[in-house]
Amino acid sequence: MTNWTGLAATIAAAESAGCKLGVSVIAPDGSRFAHDADRRYVAASTVKIAIMVELFRRIDAGRDGLDQIHVLRAEDQATGGGVVKELHPGIAFTVGDLCYLMMAISDNSTTNILIDRVGMAAVNATMQSLGMKQSVLGRPMRGRPPVAGESENWAVPTEYADLIAALFANKAASAVSCAAMIGQLEKQTNDRRIARHLPSGAARPAWGTKTGSLPGVVNDVGFIMTEKGPLILAIYVEIADPNAGEAVIGDVARAALDAIG
């Protein structure tokens, strides 16, 4: 039986230092740990996982394809994270390119292109169909908190951990698409959060996540592949210092790994 005592102590120590955490963990044997994991947190870019799922469900239905072309327009270029905002209009991207940029480097411009492509309502309907009753895609990516009159993107840690579990169970889309989406998560370029304390080189296990950051918010959702199977983590941190938030996520992930042995 998984012993979560050390993980609970790690979270308590972090919160005593001045942050607030929502943590949902699913061990390879299916046992679960939750800390304040059923309330809403600001999703930031973790909501891009749900956008990706809707895209691949459209591909499964024959309504889109990773080789389809989108030509960049000036109005596509969004503020906030990413590189596409610095490029010149007229560049031709495949849908696969757009998805990679959204997931691996959290590019906001390509995310908004994909939101327009698949439809915000469709993303939310897919989330609902997968049991994500309180998580929501409420607005495009702006790289800032919402202003008056704007909706927010919300995430419930338990629901996002379940979404990652649905990828591994081939329940979020077809088996081929679920494998492709896990592969997209594995292209994450920020290893300072869930992967922070993993060994380097050949000893490093496979891992994949989607980060999310806004002022006062540092998140990461994904998995670490262990000999027993995937350890799934959804970690949401409300904290003033983003560097400290990344360290907290790394410590929580390490404690979760220790818990499963």
Q: Please name every residue paired with 230 in a beta bridge, in sequence order, or none if there are none.
A: 225
pLDDT tens digits, 2-51: 899 999 999 999 999 999 999 999 999 999 999 999 999 999 999 999 99
Contact predicate 20/237, CB 8 Å: yes
Short-list 45, 46, 25, 52, CA closest to 37: 25
DSSP 136: B
Report H helices in 75-202. Answer: 95-104, 108-118, 120-129, 157-168, 175-185
Domains of the chain: 5-259 (3.40.710.10)
Please give the structure tokens belonging to residue 193: 């959060």
In order along its 261 residues, the chain shows pLDDT tens digits of 789 999 999 999 999 999 999 999 999 999 999 999 999 999 999 999 999 999 999 999 999 999 999 999 999 999 888 999 999 999 999 999 999 999 999 999 999 999 999 999 999 999 999 999 999 999 999 888 888 889 999 999 999 999 999 999 999 999 999 999 999 999 999 999 999 999 999 999 999 999 999 999 999 999 999 999 999 999 999 999 999 999 999 999 999 999 998
Alpha-carbon span 208 to 205, nearest angstrom: 10
pLDDT of residue 92: 98
pLDDT of residue 235: 99
Quickly tell me which residue has 């439809």 as its tokens. 119
Contact predicate 249/220, CB 8 Å: yes
pLDDT of residue 68: 98
Strands (E), the chain: 20-26, 32-35, 41-42, 69-71, 92-94, 154-155, 207-214, 217-226, 229-238
Please give the structure tokens belonging to residue 157: 């840690």
pLDDT of residue 259: 97
pLDDT of residue 186: 98
The model's pTM: 0.97
pLDDT of residue 30: 97
